[in-house]
Amino acid sequence: MSKKKEAKADDMSWVFDSLVDFLRGPIWNIPMINFIEQKSMIFEPDGDNQCEYRRVHENYKNLVDLMLGTYMEDIGITPLQFEKACSKSSSRLKSQFHQMLFEQLWAADDFDMFQRMMVRTNIELQLQALELLQQRYGLTPASFKAEDTEVSEEERRVLEEVIRRSMLEHQQEKERMDQETRDLERTIAETGAERQRLEAERSREQELIRATMQLSVNERASDAAPAAADDGKISAGEIAKRQAYLRQQRDKLLAMKRCERQKLLESSEKKEATSRPKSSRAARSAFAGKIDAKTLEMRKHLADALRREVVNKK
């Protein structure tokens, strides 16, 4: 007899435990993180392309709905059972959901939160690209700087492989670089201006995320964080050139991450194919950018139940 059938009619704690396990696992994390990082490239701190931003947000909501919906189909629970499980377990949400996961779910219901999360992700990717450059010149340890949010074991493996591949490819490409590119790369790696700018921007976005959360629960928002550092000794043209080069390195980083995540997703699919067949297929489709909007309406009320409990009962 299954765990579900053995449970008492009014004991739905196993649903919550299963949900936490799913949201912490690769079938959820790989397509979600891949979407967030790939789509974050257009979200700039001073950007105002609201029409495109909202289109991406709609796609993000569809992705969340799809992944949660297929999860619930896999474990065979009704919307009523799901809502009941979340309601009874609401006191455990804060301790079970780490910050990154909480933000992912919150952002599906809150566009402002989504925009801030995407801007911060873009900044963090540029910081990672900068750290890769610095590692090539022996200026930082051979690992990415730890962030405030937790990183899954699968994501750590992705980052480790990206670092290894980056170092290897750089050795192969170094001889083909022209002198101007070599000088630009070394300058970016050895000066602290870009790191200072990016870290200031990231801190500001993090404060805006906190303010958004506080506003969502009718609390007073905190003041904005310090503005980005301004080094008057560097010309505007030189700053623009460095930023453009760093974004090129960010794009290469994203391509390598996607390649490694695809390998991990394929491995995870084999393990989860029996226990979570629909979730596994949905993860594969989502990773490939294919989400059938026609199938989402029937799942939206299921996803809304989770977001209502997670977001509003912080």
Span 108-129, mean pLDDT? 91
Mean pLDDT (the chain) is 76
pLDDT band at 56 (very low <50, low <70, confident <90, very high): very high
pLDDT band at 123 (very low <50, low <70, confident <90, very high): very high
- For the chain, what are the domain ranges? 11-141+153-312
Q: Rounded to whole angstroms, how far apart are CA atoms 114 and 108?
A: 7
Return the pLDDT at 264.
Answer: 85
Residue 116 makes CB contacts below 8 A (sequence gap 6+) with 205, 208, 209, 212
Q: Shortest CA distance to 122 belongs to which of 201, 223, 228, 224?
A: 201
Backbone angles phi, psi at 266, to 5 degrees: -60, -40
**Structure tokens given for 183:** 């000088």
**213 to each of 31, 222, 240, how far by Cα in Å?**
24, 10, 33
pLDDT band at 52 (very low <50, low <70, confident <90, very high): very high
Q: Rounded to whole angstroms, how far apart are CA atoms 242 and 82?
A: 50
pLDDT band at 1 (very low <50, low <70, confident <90, very high): very low
Instruction: Yes or no: say if 58 and 292 are a contact pair by the CB < 8 Å rule.
Output: no
pLDDT band at 222 (very low <50, low <70, confident <90, very high): very low
Return the pLDDT at 221.
Answer: 37
Which percentage of the chain shows pLDDT scores above 70?
A: 74
Return the pLDDT at 162.
Answer: 85
CATH topology of domain 11-141+153-312: Adp-ribosylation factor-like protein 2-binding protein fold (1.20.1520)
pLDDT band at 228 (very low <50, low <70, confident <90, very high): very low
Return the pLDDT at 93.
Answer: 55
Highest mean pLDDT: which of 112-126, 220-234, 279-293?
A: 112-126
Q: What type of residue sits at position 154?
A: E
pLDDT band at 8 (very low <50, low <70, confident <90, very high): very low
Q: Rounded to whole angstroms, how far apart are CA atoms 200 and 206?
A: 10
Which percentage of the chain shows pLDDT scores above 90?
A: 12
pTM for this entry: 0.77
Span 207-225, mean pLDDT? 61
Return the pLDDT at 7.
Answer: 43
Listed range (201-205, 235-239, 272-276) with the worst mean pLDDT: 272-276
Percentages helix, strand, coil for the chain (3-state, rounded to 5) are 75, 0, 25
